[in-house]
């Protein structure tokens, strides 16, 4: 990863995203292979690596909930060698930056999930790290909190920090990452620009047509199946069809044809990551293994 990049790590559950983050942050030892952070080996030069990184694990665990946010950060500041006025300045600055200053002296157990996640980020930044590792930082957040969090992460890039972020959410990866890597079973499948993800998402859009009369179903299935780029058409419940596309521009063509056939209750959905894996990565054959 080049310095100053936000790099997304995408993959389904069990792909190895968290394991990679833990190896890079020296929490786990790799069974094989070698990884370096800013030129320091994560196995043999752990002390140097630990001074350079900040790590934020997703979810609500990991904070000392009976302490205040300020006390939590003061503890972590001490572990990173900050004391006295320096520690106070750093803690105050982070509390303000993350919007926690008004409730900084309240116990963390009274915080919402979004606030806890912001406190996690503040903890990750306490040592002023050059490399920040964020493991599913927005998991469980509501959309507004997640959007705020993404804005914060992108603002960190402008400070020259290098950020590795894992996520299940393709739109999140598109929004904040300079590049993304797809992994599965601990293996890198592909590294792409987020715009490529956008293409995948558009290409593999799914169209849902509902409220079809029983006599409409067969002709609509036949007509839609003829459209170039349509991979599959199936009736998932009486009067409801699901159309899978597999080519650029296929979804708009399906929508137009449905309207021509008098079907107006239609919707498009984006494929989730698992579907993209099955349909995009699965189809790339040898190319994805490079």
Binding positions for other proteins, rule: CB under 8 A: 19, 22, 25-29, 47, 50-51, 53, 55, 57, 59, 61-64, 66-67, 71, 74-76, 78-81, 107, 123, 127
Distance CA 50, CA 124 (A): 11
Q: Between residues 43 and 190, which has the closer beta carbon with respect to other proteins?
A: 43
Least distance CB 23 / other proteins (angstroms): 10
Structure tokens, 6: 């936000």
Least distance CB 187 / other proteins (angstroms): 17
Could you give the angle at which helices 113-125 and 84-97 cross, rounded to 10 degrees?
Answer: 140
Q: Between residues 5 and 60, which has the closer beta carbon with respect to other proteins?
A: 60
Q: Between residues 62 and 229, which has the closer beta carbon with respect to other proteins?
A: 62
Least distance CB 62 / other proteins (angstroms): 4
Least distance CB 124 / other proteins (angstroms): 8
DSSP string, 40-90: EETTT-HHHHHHHEEEEESSSTTS-TTSBHHHHHHHHHHHTT--HHHHHHH
Q: Between residues 76 and 200, which has the closer beta carbon with respect to other proteins?
A: 76
Residue (of 14, 16, 58) closest to 35 by Cα position: 16
Least distance CB 120 / other proteins (angstroms): 9
Q: Between residues 58 and 114, which has the closer beta carbon with respect to other proteins?
A: 58
Contact call for residues 63 and 124 (beta carbons, < 8 A): no
Q: CA torsion 246→248→251→257, rounded to 10°?
A: -110
Q: Between residues 55 and 197, which has the closer beta carbon with respect to other proteins?
A: 55
Distance CA 182, CA 8 (A): 8
């Amino acid at each position: 990863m080049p310095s100053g990049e936000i790099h997304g790590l995408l993959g389904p559950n069990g792909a190895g995203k968290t394991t990679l983050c833990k190896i890079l942050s020296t929490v786990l030892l790799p069974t094989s292979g070698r990884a370096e952070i800013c030129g320091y080996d994560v196995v043999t030069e752990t002390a140097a690596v630990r001074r350079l990184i900040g790590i934020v694990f997703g979810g609500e665990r990991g904070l000392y909930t009976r302490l205040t946010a300020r006390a939590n950060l003061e503890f972590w500041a001490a572990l990173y060698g900050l004391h006295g006025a320096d520690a106070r300045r750093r803690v105050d600055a982070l509390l303000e930056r993350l919007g926690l200053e008004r409730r900084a002296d309240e116990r963390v157990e009274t915080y919402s999930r979004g606030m806890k996640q912001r406190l996690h980020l503040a903890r990750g930044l306490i040592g002023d790290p050059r490399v920040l590792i964020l493991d599913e930082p927005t998991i469980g957040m509501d959309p507004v909190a997640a959007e705020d969090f993404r804005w914060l992460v992108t603002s960190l890039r402008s400070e020259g920090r290098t950020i590795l972020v894992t996520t299940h959410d393709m739109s999140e990866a598109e929004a904040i990452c300079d590049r993304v890597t797809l992994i599965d079973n601990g293996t890198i499948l592909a590294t792409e620009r987020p715009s490529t993800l956008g293409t995948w998402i558009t290409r593999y859009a799914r169209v849902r047509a509902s409220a079809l009369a029983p006599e409409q179903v067969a002709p609509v299935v036949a007509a839609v199946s003829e459209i170039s780029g349509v991979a599959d058409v199936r009736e998932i419940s009486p009067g409801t069809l699901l159309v899978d596309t597999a080519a650029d521009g296929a979804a708009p063509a399906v929508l137009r044809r449905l309207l021509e056939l008098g079907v107006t209750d239609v919707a498009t959905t984006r494929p989730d990551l698992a579907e993209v894996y099955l349909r995009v990565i699965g189809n790339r054959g040898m190319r994805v293994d490079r």
